[in-house]
């Protein structure tokens, strides 16, 4: 099994995906253990002094003015975890919980939090055992960290609350820890606070969304090319010299992908009744511009994610010179903004894909295709309602594109009076990504059927490869009306599993 070694200098997106989705094991490096011990020594020294230090010998948030006596400090750390584990609503997905736990461990191992090595090791042990704390949908405002979600994880470390075992069964955390020989932690000064105070949930969801969107943007280039081909459109608009004079990187990459898919097609440039078309509709002609802008948005989001992966997000933090200082690094604005940007881009990509599908189904705009791609229009409805479903998904994407980060609700008696809502931005982006995959799947379903209805003209080799692969995956071709939901589900699985991209790349080479 793949092993991820956690050091002091952060982690990579591949590390997060390996742990969250791949079940990779975790080891702490010797450097990390040394850094943990050094920082803990600083916290212990401060705890012995009479002067109050936030998070070490004081209360939290609006209660930070109270100095806590030594005999109550362990109780203080337990209490912050218990009281902050106040999430509600549906359970969060296992991969999200594993990502946020790993990212919190990454920050703990930086040596800037003052957590003892044995607490960090317990975090790794829980992940390695396949134990997943029960975390709920609601409870984070994206400031002072993803508080409630991280608190539910910390509660498991203490042997309290509920968690899911590696077999998928939810049991008391104490029972699961005991079954795997893991001793619950007894938190000391600052440790409860350090386990809660990070942007780890929203960052984990950003990293996974970027991985999924990378596949979906390539898939959307393929389906856009198939739709252009099915509509007898022109591929001249994809010429590299046209995109070189507007040098947005994503636009050039998208146009190159489409051109590669269409290479060798006999359908492009043909027109119904010999009537030449000077220009294709925007949804066809401007596909690289829209998909490319989304790609460039993803590039910015990756830059933010990389910076956050290299960060130590906690408050207060232990600095290399031994100072322990309060800060605002837990504010989720940088991550929240790009999560919202990605949701906007996903909505636009879904919208333009739906417009191409609608064009394929309209006999007045499809250049000779049968109405709704039906076998016997009137007797058969064809893909009429498949487009309704796609339109409903697009409408939902538009609602999900409303930015969460534009909102703020003050909390903690106005001490935390401006929050990022980054967790909410991440949650809605996950839904947007799921819906985008479904939208692309419907375009794939329509475009492959339309190409097969163009008798007498040979599609591009890449298009033929897609049609063969999607039919082998259980998505049926043209014919009389049938129960469509299973076909659409199979097309969805084909897209989100990366099989569409895998079908074309042996012909086109790697897509960009």
Catalytically active residues are 54
Q: Edge-to-edge strand order for the sheet containing 170-172?
A: 132-133, 162-164, 170-172
**300 vs 423: CA distance, rounded Å:** 19
Pairing of strands 162-164, 132-133: antiparallel
Helix (H) or strand (E) holding 137: strand 136-138
**83 vs 95: CA distance, rounded Å:** 25
**Residues 248 and 292 sit within 8 Å (Cβ to Cβ):** yes
| Residue from 209, 19, 177, 5 nearest 98 by CA | 19
Count CA atoms within 13 Å of residue 176 on its CB side. Answer: 29
Pairing of strands 3-6, 25-28: parallel
**8 vs 35: CA distance, rounded Å:** 7
CB atoms within 10 A of CB 69: 8
Alpha-carbon Rg for the chain, nearest whole angstrom, is: 26
| Residue 388 φ/ψ region, left for φ over 0, alpha for ψ in the -120 to 50 degree band, beta for the rest | alpha
Alpha-helix runs per DSSP H in 61-139: 73-84, 94-108, 117-128
**Which residue's structure tokens are 């498949």?**
386
**330 vs 49: CA distance, rounded Å:** 27
**Residues 154 and 185 sit within 8 Å (Cβ to Cβ):** no
Helix (H) or strand (E) holding 133: strand 132-133
- The two structure tokens encoding residue 444: 């794939």
Q: How far are the Cα atoms of 203, 267, 446, 450, 453 from residue 374, in angstroms, in the given order?
A: 45, 20, 11, 10, 10
């Amino acid at each position: 099994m793949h092993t991820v070694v956690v050091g002091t200098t952060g982690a990579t997106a591949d590390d997060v995906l390996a742990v969250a989705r791949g079940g990779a094991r975790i080891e702490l490096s010797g450097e990390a253990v040394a850094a943990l011990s050094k920082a803990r020594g600083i916290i212990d020294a401060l705890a012995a002094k009479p002067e109050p230090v936030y998070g070490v010998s004081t209360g939290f948030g609006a209660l930070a003015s109270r100095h806590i006596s030594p005999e109550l400090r362990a109780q203080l750390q337990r209490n912050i975890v218990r009281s902050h584990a106040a999430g509600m609503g549906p359970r969060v997905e296992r991969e999200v919980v594993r990502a946020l736990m790993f990212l919190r461990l990454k920050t703990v191992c930086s040596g800037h939090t003052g957590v003892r090595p044995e607490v960090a090791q317990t975090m790794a042990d829980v992940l390695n055992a396949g134990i997943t704390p029960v975390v709920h949908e609601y409870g984070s405002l994206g400031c002072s960290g993803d508080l409630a979600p991280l608190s539910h994880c910390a509660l498991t470390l203490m042997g309290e609350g509920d968690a899911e075992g590696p077999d998928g069964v939810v049991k008391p955390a104490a029972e699961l820890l005991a079954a795997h020989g893991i001793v619950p932690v007894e938190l000391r000064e600052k440790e409860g606070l350090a386990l809660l105070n990070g942007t780890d949930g929203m960052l984990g969801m950003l990293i996974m969304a970027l991985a999924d969107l990378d596949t979906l943007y390539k898939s959307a280039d393929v389906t856009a090319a198939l739709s252009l081909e099915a509509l007898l459109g022109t591929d001249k608009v994809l010429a590299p010299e046209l995109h070189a004079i507007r040098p947005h990187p994503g636009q050039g990459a998208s146009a190159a992908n489409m051109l590669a898919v269409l290479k060798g097609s006999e359908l492009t440039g043909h027109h119904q009744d010999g009537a030449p078309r000077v220009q294709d509709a925007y949804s066809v002609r401007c596909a690289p511009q829209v998909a490319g802008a989304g790609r460039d948005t993803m590039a910015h989001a990756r830059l933010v994610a990389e910076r956050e992966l290299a960060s130590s997000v906690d408050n207060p933090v232990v600095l290399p010179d031994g100072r322990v200082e309060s800060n605002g690094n837990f504010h989720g604005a940088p991550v929240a903004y790009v999560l919202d940007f990605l949701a906007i881009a996903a909505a636009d990509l879904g919208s333009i894909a739906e417009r191409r599908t609608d064009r394929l189904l309209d006999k007045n705009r499809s250049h000779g295709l049968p109405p709704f791609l039906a076998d016997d229009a009137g007797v058969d409805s064809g893909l009429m309602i498949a487009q309704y479903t796609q339109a409903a998904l697009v409408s939902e994407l538009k609602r999900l594109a409303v930015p969460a980060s534009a909102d703020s609700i003050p909390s903690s008696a106005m001490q935390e009076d401006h929050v990022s809502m980054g967790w909410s931005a991440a949650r809605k982006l996950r839904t947007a990504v799921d819906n985008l995959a479904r939208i692309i799947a419907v375009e794939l379903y329509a475009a492959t059927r339309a190409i097969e209805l163009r008798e007498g003209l040979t599609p591009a080799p890449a298009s033929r490869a897609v049609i063969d692969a999607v039919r082998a995956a259980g998505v049926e071709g043209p014919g009389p009306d049938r129960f469509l939901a299973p076909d659409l589900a199979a097309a969805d699985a084909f897209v989100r599993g990366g099989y569409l991209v895998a079908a074309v790349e042996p012909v086109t080479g790697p897509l960009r």
